[in-house]
Structure 1
Amino acid sequence: MPDWLMIVFRSIGAVAYLFILTKIIGKRQIKQLTYIEYIVGITIGSIAAFMATEMDGPLYHSLIAMAIFTLFPYMFEWLAMKSKILRDLFEGTSTVLIKDGKILEDNLKKERWTNEDLMEQLRIKNVFRVADVEFACMETSGELSVLLKSQNAPVTPQQLNLQVAPAEEPQSVILDGVIMDEPLSNLGLNRRWVRMELEKAGVALENVFLGQVDKGGQLYLDLYDDKLKVNAPQELKLTYAQLKKCQADLEMFALSTKNEQQKRIYQRDAEELQRVIDQVMPLLMR
């Protein structure tokens, strides 16, 4: 067999064997690898390259070496679970870089970060002023965790005592001008509904790059022609406005009538409708 053909077969075998070993080790992202996993990954890759091109040595020597190196992450992970000292040694510890709006320069130098590196990571977290940060630390994965000061943190609906609808994944019902039947059926809709919505929006199907339907049954369109603007669906907001108008009409009837019995009925209905509005508002005002 020619040498070049042997190299082809050995390379394919090395890639297949390396793929199996990688699946065994796990599927962490590169930035989440521990020191040991990083070292093992480099070493196994070098052995695989040697196995593919070295024609003199037996093939099984390289296979055994790769298998042995694959066992190291499991062994070190088991030791790390048994001892925090070993866990800190193998995986490292987090480092505080900012505390109470003040950069800890010694810790920054310890991690070999410059102030530009720190500011870049803060901007990735949508933080542009160090003074706004209560606490920031570099995790063992290399990621920067940031806690803003309470007066600078975004306000959540829970802090405002507001009820909001749970976030749910929209279904893509149009892709590249083609209607997708499976997402439509999951929503209990059909092609006829899609075409009616497109007709109301004044948009041709072939001009739709992406069409998504949220849980409320509203269709959002992104067109190939970026110059064309499609108004966002307003059905849910119109429904909310109509309910508020009905509630206001009931209150107005209660104020305008001189019949006490009717006044009580209107007031009671207005209060009940207001309770219904409060319950459905998170679903309507998305």
Structure 2
Amino acid sequence: MQQPASHIHPTAIVAAGAQIDPSATVGPYAIIGANVRIGARTSVGPHCVIEGHTTIGADNHIFQFASLGAAPQDKKYAGEPTRLEIGDRNTIREFCTFNTGTVQDQGVTRIGDDNWIMAYVHIAHDCVVGNQVILANNATLAGHVQVGDQVIIGGLTGVHQYSRIGAHAMAGFASHISQDVPPFMMVDGNPLAVRGLNLEGLRRRGFSAQRVAAIKQAYRLLYRQGLTLEAALSAMAELPQQHPEADGDIALLRDFIAASQRGIAR
């Protein structure tokens, strides 16, 4: 009688010390390091290499040839035990490369939940990627990049180190992002330009007409009325009086801009 297949393929190499949930699966010729933890029902495809101090949550689908948890591509890195943390229900396609963090930052690279990460995406050291993000093929995040929830980044787009992309923003194909992209904006090009609001994305996510109207007014203040940044932020502060249901949206936009160190795309 044929024995049931193990959740770890016999050709996989799993180091002593690795913690793999019994319901997770590891495919042929995969290599799993000693400091790796893999959660329930996560699937690791053939020929993947998962190393370093890497923690992966539940229900992730990692396709073949991904490299997760390798040392950061940072010449200052001296072998410190920095980390990579991946949440739940992420799809990670072929040839993705995610590196651990550096002690010059928080020492950890973090990817949240429910992200759709396509082939050849690179997420460098100390990046923070939120939830429900889409990174299309060959999108590349340099070190210390922050990506908010429900962002879409088009294929072949490069994001400069320390740049931030706010929640609900969208970057088009082959964009060059070297400044912060405020929440809700739609950008593309090289040099980067703000093309408008990600209105279709907001509607698909259930934003009410009142919230969208308030975000439109904020966009006009910021980009269409010739105001200084300080004057635009001041005027935006009055919008929740007209649209109280959008108070959180306006606060998100104003706080993001106020915290910008690289300047915002305008």
TM range (shorter): under 0.3
With structure 1 as the length reference, what TM-score do the two structures score? 0.22
Q: By percentage of residues, which structure has more helix?
A: 1
With structure 2 as the length reference, what TM-score do the two structures score? 0.23
RCO comparison, higher one (Cα < 8 Å, 6+): 1
Asked which structure has the greater CA Rg, the reply is 1
Q: By percentage of residues, which structure has more strand?
A: 2
